[in-house]
Chain A
């Protein structure tokens, strides 16, 4: 069975700022606030809407961090599901236009 691609893009309804290696993200719709660790920040920054998540994990996460690729993919999918649930990331099986400039 062919593997389904997941595309992720940052929502336009957020404010984000990097500080001391971590990314602060605030959802302007409900004022929820998140702090992303380094790995999560790498995925968040690479979420351009047209790079599949598995490529982000392979080219960014596995390149920069000493992680098992399968575990990294599973963790990334869980992280993406959590952030999309909070309206921080948009997720689709088709390429997305990133909402952030």
Chain B
């Protein structure tokens, strides 16, 4: 007789996914790993895990491609199949949390792509009720920004930011996907105030980025794996939409706590600039 399935529902970004396994140890592992993101919501999607001997966790390129209506997601250490019509899928992998994280990230990137959202290589945090994103190449300072954050800042992630459109712009959600900080983000959400592309320098300054440059940098940092023409078109449209609706700046910073004063004052200054621009509009306009 087959062992009974044990199910944990993990809700990241407001999308509950049921993760089921016959293996009690693996069930405990994923409950522990996603503690803070466990949910009693009705799952929108389901993944069934079959623990088997696969290759070691690797940095090899992942392949995400269509097989009929299904998505096939493959890397040396896991193999997954997911049917977006039924919302159900299966995963074959070793009982390790890194493969599990990768599968979940890829699945969320596919779901978000259809909904106008995306995962971004960026740290994010809530300051005064608004979310700020900090993106950049490896070593640009994502983790440094989170380490320098004052005590009243809520960390959403130091590695992978989760973004979904809302009526007024975009919302950022906390994720359990941790980077160097090795600490999961808080499971909460806030409207996005700004995205900063980080560069370290000798002073703190915020500079405008031309729209095309902002899209280019954004596309470079979005997590996207699928070899699919339709999704690529959608993703590019999403990036342009994001740039049109969210202030995007270059933040050159000297790594000490004062950079957060710049961040905290950004929205106030931005609103001031915007009001200044409005005053310049001629009366007849």
Q: Which residue numbers of A lie inside 8 Å of B, CB to CB?
A: 12-13, 15-17, 19-20, 22, 24, 26, 28-29, 31, 33, 35
Interface of B is mostly: helix
User: Do B210 and A20 touch across chains, with their CB atoms under 8 A apart?
Assistant: yes
Known: A12-B229, A28-B229, A28-B232. A33 touches B216 (CB 8 A): yes
The complex places the Cα of A94 from the Cα of B61 at a distance, in Å, of: 38
User: Do A19 and B243 touch across chains, with their CB atoms under 8 A apart?
Assistant: yes
Q: Please give me the residue from chain A that is nearest to B222 by CB atom.
A: A31
Known: A17-B240, A29-B227, A33-B219. A24 touches B212 (CB 8 A): yes
Known: A20-B211, A33-B216, A33-B219. A26 touches B243 (CB 8 A): no
In the complex, 22 of the A-B residue pairs with CB atoms within 8 angstroms, ordered by the A residue number, are A13-B229, A15-B229, A15-B232, A15-B236, A15-B237, A16-B236, A19-B212, A19-B240, A20-B210, A22-B212, A24-B212, A24-B215, A24-B219, A24-B236, A24-B240, A26-B232, A28-B227, A29-B227, A33-B216, A33-B220, A35-B215, A35-B216
The complex places the Cα of A48 from the Cα of B249 at a distance, in Å, of: 37
Question: Does B168 sit at the interface, judged by CB under 8 A?
Answer: no
Beyond contacts A24-B236, A26-B235, A28-B227: 12 other A-B pairs, Cβ-Cβ < 8 A, are A12-B229, A15-B235, A15-B237, A17-B240, A19-B243, A24-B212, A26-B232, A28-B229, A31-B224, A33-B216, A35-B212, A35-B215
* Residues of A contacting B69 in the complex (Cβ-Cβ under 8 angstroms): none
The complex places the Cα of A28 from the Cα of B229 at a distance, in Å, of: 6
User: Do A20 and B212 touch across chains, with their CB atoms under 8 A apart?
Assistant: yes
Q: Smallest distance from the beta carbon of B74 to chain A beta carbons, Å?
A: 17
User: Do A28 and B220 touch across chains, with their CB atoms under 8 A apart?
Assistant: no
* Residues of B contacting A13 in the complex (Cβ-Cβ under 8 angstroms): 229
User: Which 10 residue pairs of A and B lie closest in terms of their CB atoms, listed nearest first?
Assistant: A28-B232, A15-B233, A20-B211, A22-B212, A15-B236, A15-B232, A28-B229, A33-B219, A17-B236, A35-B212
Q: Smallest distance from the beta carbon of A13 to chain B beta carbons, Å?
A: 6
User: Do B219 and A19 touch across chains, with their CB atoms under 8 A apart?
Assistant: no
Q: Smallest distance from the beta carbon of A54 to chain B beta carbons, Å?
A: 29
Question: Does B228 sit at the interface, judged by CB under 8 A?
Answer: yes
* Residues of A contacting B240 in the complex (Cβ-Cβ under 8 angstroms): 17, 19, 24
* Residues of B contacting A31 in the complex (Cβ-Cβ under 8 angstroms): 224, 232
The complex places the Cα of A16 from the Cα of B224 at a distance, in Å, of: 17
Contact with A along B214-249 (1 / 0, CB 8 A): 011001100010011100110111011001000000
Most A CB atoms within 10 A — which of B210, B232, B237, B240?
B232
* Residues of A contacting B236 in the complex (Cβ-Cβ under 8 angstroms): 15-17, 24, 26
The complex places the Cα of A22 from the Cα of B222 at a distance, in Å, of: 20
Question: Looking at the complex, which one of B211, B212, B219, B228 makes contact with A28 (CB distance below 8 Å)?
Answer: B228
Q: Please give me the residue from chain B that is nearest to A12 by CB atom.
A: B229
* Residues of A contacting B212 in the complex (Cβ-Cβ under 8 angstroms): 19-20, 22, 24, 35
Q: Smallest distance from the beta carbon of B227 to chain A beta carbons, Å?
A: 7
Within 8 A of A (CB), among B198-214: 210-212
* Residues of A contacting B211 in the complex (Cβ-Cβ under 8 angstroms): 19-20
The complex places the Cα of A35 from the Cα of B123 at a distance, in Å, of: 26
Q: Smallest distance from the beta carbon of B122 to chain A beta carbons, Å?
A: 18
The complex places the Cα of A3 from the Cα of B247 at a distance, in Å, of: 50
Q: Smallest distance from the beta carbon of A97 to chain B beta carbons, Å?
A: 17
* Residues of A contacting B239 in the complex (Cβ-Cβ under 8 angstroms): 24
Q: Please give me the residue from chain A that is nearest to B213 by CB atom.
A: A35
Contact with A along B255-273 (1 / 0, CB 8 A): 0000000000000000000
